[in-house]
Amino acid sequence: MNAYEPSRLADMELSDAAPAAAGSQVADVAAVGLDWIVVFSGTVPIAAVPASRLQAMTPELPLSEVIRDNPPTVIAHAEVSVASALNSWAFSQMSGDEAVVVVDDSGRCRVWAGPDLAEVRELAERRSAIDTRLPTDEIHIPEISRTCRFESDKGVCGAPVWFAEFPEPMPDCPNPNHVSPHRFVW
Q: Distance between CA atoms of 86 and 131, rounded to whole angstroms?
A: 10
Does residue 2 sit within a domain? no
Does residue 43 sit within a domain? yes
Q: Judge if 99 and 26 occupy the same domain.
A: yes
Contact 102, 76 (CB under 8 A): yes
Q: Judge if 118 and 153 occupy the same domain.
A: no
pLDDT (0 to 100) of residue 75: 97
Does residue 15 sit within a domain? yes
Q: Judge if 131 and 153 occupy the same domain.
A: no
Q: What are the pLDDT digits (tens) for 65-75?
A: 999 878 889 99
Q: What are the pLDDT digits (tens) for 106-142?
A: 999 999 999 989 888 887 766 555 544 445 556 688 9
- Identify the H or E element spanning 158: none
Q: Judge if 61 and 103 occupy the same domain.
A: yes
Q: Judge if 105 and 127 occupy the same domain.
A: yes
2: pLDDT strictly greater than 50: no
Mean pLDDT across 173-185: 93
Q: Is 82 helix (H, G, I), strand (E, B) or coil?
A: helix
Q: Judge if 140 and 176 occupy the same domain.
A: no
Does residue 175 sit within a domain? yes
Q: Judge if 104 and 50 occupy the same domain.
A: yes
pLDDT (0 to 100) of residue 142: 93
Mean pLDDT across 133-159: 82
Q: Judge if 19 and 46 occupy the same domain.
A: yes
Q: Distance between CA atoms of 22 and 1, rounded to whole angstroms?
A: 47
Q: Judge if 44 and 111 occupy the same domain.
A: yes
Does residue 3 sit within a domain? no
4: pLDDT strictly greater than 80: no
Q: Judge if 49 and 117 occupy the same domain.
A: yes
Q: Distance between CA atoms of 150 and 148, rounded to whole angstroms?
A: 6
Does residue 74 sit within a domain? yes
Distances (CA, A) of 147 to 10, 130, 159, 184: 26, 32, 5, 9
Q: What is the CATH number of the domain that holds 52?
A: 3.10.580.10
Q: What are the pLDDT digits (tens) for 73-89?
A: 999 999 998 988 988 99
Instruction: Give the rounded percent of residues in the chain with a pLDDT score beyond 70.
Output: 88
pLDDT (0 to 100) of residue 137: 53
Q: Judge if 43 and 118 occupy the same domain.
A: yes
Q: Judge if 134 and 48 occupy the same domain.
A: yes
34: pLDDT strictly greater than 80: yes
Structural domain of 176? 148-186
Contact 50, 97 (CB under 8 A): no
Does residue 158 sit within a domain? yes
Number of domains in the chain: 2
pLDDT (0 to 100) of residue 110: 97
SS (H, E, C) 118-136: HHHHHHHHHCCCCCCCCCC
Question: How confident is the prediction for the chain on average, in pLDDT?
Answer: 87
Does residue 118 sit within a domain? yes
The whole model's pTM is what?
A: 0.84
pLDDT (0 to 100) of residue 6: 61
Q: Distance between CA atoms of 17 and 144, rounded to whole angstroms?
A: 18
pLDDT (0 to 100) of residue 170: 95
